[in-house]
Structure 1
Amino acid sequence: MTPLIDVIFLLLLFFMLTSTFSKFAEVELSNATGGSQPSDTQTERLFVQLGPDRLTLNGAEVTLDQLTEQIETGQVLVSLDPDTTSQRLVDLLVRLRGREDLSVLVLE
């Protein structure tokens, strides 16, 4: 009986360690392009600060849903707090992807 319990615990441990409990999303990343001519049209630049518990758009506190409603076109500069998780950044990028006239730049 004891070896059977040991095998059950080993199987339980194996399945717990190999499973994932967080959601994953696919984000397409493209290389930066350089050497292009500056365009005559002025694009709107928006500054987003992303932290583990806060999200600000041009200095005003917003939620992730409000942010995606307010940003339609332009260039978004994303600044990360030192303790921001990569999952939080991926959540933001997933919300902003797929828009034609929107470019997102993550600052170091």
Structure 2
Amino acid sequence: MTSLIDVIFLLLLFFMLTSTFSQFAEVELSAASSGAVAPSGTPPLFLQLGQDTVRVNGDQIALDTLPTSALAEAPDGTVLLVSLAEDVDAQRLTDLLVALRRLPALRVSVLGV
């Protein structure tokens, strides 16, 4: 008869060897606004995120071309308002935030989360 500690050890070993270890990207989120305002005369930009579409101020663009789009030329401190469609999942939002991380001039605010 096998002792209980041997069974626990075998189960622990099994789960350690069969689990996958992957590194996930970290996205920094803050719940409150810093209180800073956009530079005077600079209107905020508006991004609509759908499950299959990305629109910046009404113009449809691809998510992978976001860092080279007109957003890259925005002045420092420009506010980017992100609106989510109902079918957007957490992974799609994370992909967008990772792409926007390469644009440090933008202050991203996600609406309706």
TM-score range, shorter chain: 0.5 to 0.7
Counterpart-to-counterpart distance in 2, 1:39 and 1:46: 11
Q: Aligned AA for 1:94? A: V
- RMSD of the alignment, in Å? 2.9
Equivalent position of 1:24 in the other structure: 24
Instruction: Name the residue aligned to 1:75.
Output: 79
Q: How many residues align?
A: 94
2:92 aligns with 88
String of CA shifts for 1:39-92, please: whole Å, max 9, x gaps: 662334211111111111111110012222121232111110001011000011
Cα distance change of structure 1 residues 25 and 45 upon mapping to structure 2, 3 Å threshold: same
Percent identity reads 41
- Which TM-score applies when normalising by structure 2? 0.65
The 5-angstrom pairing of residues 32-51 of structure 1 reads 32-33=32-33, 36=35, 41-51=40-50
